[in-house]
């Protein structure tokens, strides 16, 4: 059965382009379009799409307000199609926090129509498999649900179609920052984290709960260029750690988190006792740039048994071979449990390959990282 998509954008040209590019894929069918949130609401009830693509700058009601209402009353997978601007980046991050699954930048100076179309198709397919958490803090919803075992009410579904997982969010879980480690860190200790679909919320959940005296942390989150800097800034606000978008030759030091920039790979190096990162262009690896695989392979080679690797929610198999390489080099490796993943793709592939020591739900990962450190 095709993935049924509703396209919401105030631009007639954008609607036609998005519809045309998505309909080129045999697994996707655009069942309708809407020019504003009011029309979109009517079309959702009429067509019951599997996935919504949503522009955030809309007439009558802005896209973010509409998204929040949608996730409160009818949670469903939403892919944001956003302008590549500072305002667009900020709004897109707010949309992810409100429950959107992923972001695709509109064509512009940073991305071509061909690149945008390929990314949109991949993310719509990933979104169709996503576990939707509902309004505000999806990672906390999934963590709380996994802890309690509570059932999630399913959203509306087409007649004859299997219901999508999803549901409304319970009372907000208080952020509990773990205490300092209280001992000197090994100079060799380093943490590498990889994530994709649903990873922005999972990373916020983890980093907001870690103490300031953690080992260096390197993160690859699949994200378009122009959005990673804003995301690093958001993580920095939420965490006791220093979080920044990585730059070439940045030192990976205790208490610091380096996030790979969009469309560039991050590679770990070591000179003497100093860990540092190379930010490099190059071909996509596992169809991704930045690639978790590139980071993990370098960590296996450079940090070896001093490393801790964690692979979080995401579509595809990026990082699975690299995680196995880390384990074979003596690192401790962790995969997020299926019960808290938005998409159980990347962790599943790493587990299947035999590269994972521990399979852990999201709410246990911060404590485990502290303990292993």
CATH code for the domain of 89: 3.40.50.2300
Number of Cβ within 10 Å of residue 177's Cβ equals 13
Q: From 330, 315, 67, 18, select the one nearest 196 (Cα to Cα).
A: 315
Domain boundary among 90, 108, 128: 128
Sequence-ordered list of residues with C-beta below 8 angstroms from that of 10, at least 6 positions apart, any chain? 35, 36, 55, 57, 58, 59
Sequence-ordered list of residues with C-beta below 8 angstroms from that of 371, at least 6 positions apart, any chain? none
Q: Could you tell me the pTM of the whole model?
A: 0.87
Active site (annotated) includes residue 222:
yes
Q: What is the CATH number of the domain that holds 363?
A: 3.40.50.180
In a domain, 154, yes or no: no
Residue 132 near residue 75 (C-beta atoms within 8 A): yes
Domain boundary among 97, 128, 159: 128
Q: From 184, 212, 187, 183, select the one nearest 303 (Cα to Cα).
A: 187
In a domain, 284, yes or no: yes
Active site (annotated) includes residue 196:
yes
Number of Cβ within 10 Å of residue 109's Cβ equals 7
Q: Are residues 257 and 340 in the same domain?
A: yes
Residue 33 belongs to domain spanning = 3-128
Q: How many domains does the chain have?
A: 2
Phi and psi, residue 10, nearest 5°: -80, -15
Active site (annotated) includes residue 112:
no
Catalytic residue, candidates 89, 196, 239, 298: 196
Residue 83 near residue 62 (C-beta atoms within 8 A): no
pLDDT reported for residue 149: 56
Catalytic residue, candidates 222, 265, 337, 363: 222
Q: Are residues 195 and 91 in the same domain?
A: no
- The tokens describing 280, both together, are 């490099």
Q: Are residues 115 and 252 in the same domain?
A: no
In a domain, 217, yes or no: yes
In a domain, 163, yes or no: no
Domain boundary among 83, 108, 128: 128
In a domain, 138, yes or no: no
pLDDT in tens, the chain (373 residues): 899 999 999 999 999 999 999 999 999 999 999 999 999 999 999 999 999 999 999 998 999 999 999 999 999 999 999 876 667 788 899 999 999 999 998 887 567 888 889 999 999 999 999 988 654 445 665 566 566 554 333 333 343 344 333 333 333 455 677 777 655 556 689 999 999 999 999 999 999 999 999 999 999 999 988 899 999 999 999 999 999 999 999 999 999 999 999 999 999 999 999 999 999 999 999 999 999 999 999 999 999 999 999 999 999 999 999 999 999 999 999 999 999 999 999 999 999 999 999 999 999 999 999 999 9
In a domain, 14, yes or no: yes
Q: Are residues 112 and 207 in the same domain?
A: no
Catalytic residue, candidates 318, 337, 363, 373: 318
Q: Are residues 203 and 124 in the same domain?
A: no
pLDDT reported for residue 167: 35
**Range list of H helices, the chain:** 12-23, 37-47, 63-73, 86-98, 113-128, 138-148, 199-207, 228-238, 292-302, 320-328, 346-353, 365-372
Which residue, chain included where needed, has tokens 């299947």?
352
């Amino acid at each position: 059965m095709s993935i049924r998509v509703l396209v919401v954008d105030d631009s007639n040209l954008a609607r036609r382009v998005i519809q045309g590019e998505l309909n080129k894929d045999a697994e996707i069918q655009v069942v309708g379009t809407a020019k504003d949130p009011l029309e979109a609401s009517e079309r959702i009830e009429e067509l019951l799409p599997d996935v919504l693509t949503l522009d955030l700058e809309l007439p009558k009601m802005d896209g973010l307000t509409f998204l929040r209402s949608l996730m409160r009353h009818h949670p469903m997978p939403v892919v944001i199609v956003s302008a590549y601007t500072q305002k667009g980046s900020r709004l897109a991050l707010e949309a992810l926090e409100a429950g959107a699954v992923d972001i695709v930048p509109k064509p512009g100076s940073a991305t071509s129509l061909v690149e945008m179309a390929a990314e949109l198709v991949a993310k719509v397919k990933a979104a169709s498999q996503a576990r939707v958490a509902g309004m505000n803090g999806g990672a906390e919803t999934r963590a709380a649900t996994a802890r309690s075992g509570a059932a999630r009410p399913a959203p509306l579904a087409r007649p004859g179609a299997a219901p999508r997982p999803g549901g409304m969010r319970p009372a907000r879980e208080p952020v509990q920052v773990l205490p300092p480690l209280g001992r000197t860190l090994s100079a060799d200790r380093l943490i590498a984290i990889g994530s994709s679909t649903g990873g922005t919320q999972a990373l916020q959940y983890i980093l907001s709960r870690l103490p300031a005296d953690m080992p260096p942390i390197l993160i690859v989150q699949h994200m378009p260029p122009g959005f990673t800097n804003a995301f690093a800034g958001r993580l920095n606000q939420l965490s006791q750690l220093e979080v920044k978008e990585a730059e070439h030759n940045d030192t990976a030091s205790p208490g610091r988190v380096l996030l790979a920039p969009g469309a560039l790979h991050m590679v770990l190096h070591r000179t003497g006792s100093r860990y540092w990162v190379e930010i490099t262009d190059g071909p996509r690896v596992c169809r991704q740039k930045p690639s978790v695989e590139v980071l993990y392979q370098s960590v296996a080679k450079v940090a070896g048994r001093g490393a801790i690797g964690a692979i979080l929610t995401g579509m595809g198999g990026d990082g699975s071979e690299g995680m196995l390489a880390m384990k074979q080099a003596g690192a401790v490796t962790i995969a997020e449990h299926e019960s808290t993943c938005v998409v159980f793709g990347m962790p599943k592939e790493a587990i299947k390959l035999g590269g994972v020591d521990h399979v852990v739900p999201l709410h246990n990962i911060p404590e485990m990282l502290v303990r292993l450190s």
